[in-house]
Structure 1
Amino acid sequence: MATIPVLSVAKFSSTWADTLYLFDLVFFVVVAGSVIPGTTVRWVTRKLGLLEPKPSTSA
């Protein structure tokens, strides 16, 4: 996802350090945006009382 912004900014940026900073920033936002919701869904549903109890498997 960060390749397109990096390539578009590389034309207008004076240094590669600015471009790599943008790449690092976009990479962090994408990873954090994926990991944080994925790890908190079960906790939030439990706190809101939306988690259904597991069905019993005794036969």
Structure 2
Amino acid sequence: MARVRYIHEGDLTILIVSGRMGRIVVPEMQTLRQVSSIYVYCYDKAANEKWSRSFSK
């Protein structure tokens, strides 16, 4: 599994994750200033909308 190891302070990053991976990484990554947006790509839209509403990115 590939993971983000380092994001340079001056870089802006858009993160695209699966629904399953999103539940794991979004809580940690959404607080980083370098991450401008997080997109969850999954066929089960309804299941992911519920948990993702509590995050601003």
- Greater gyration radius: 1
* TM norm. shorter chain > 0.5: no
Q: In which range does the TM-score fall when normalised by the shorter chain?
A: under 0.3
Higher strand share: 2
Q: Give the TM-score, by structure 1 length.
A: 0.22
TM-score, length-normalised on structure 2?
0.22
Q: Which has the higher contact order (CA 8 A, sep 6+)?
A: 2
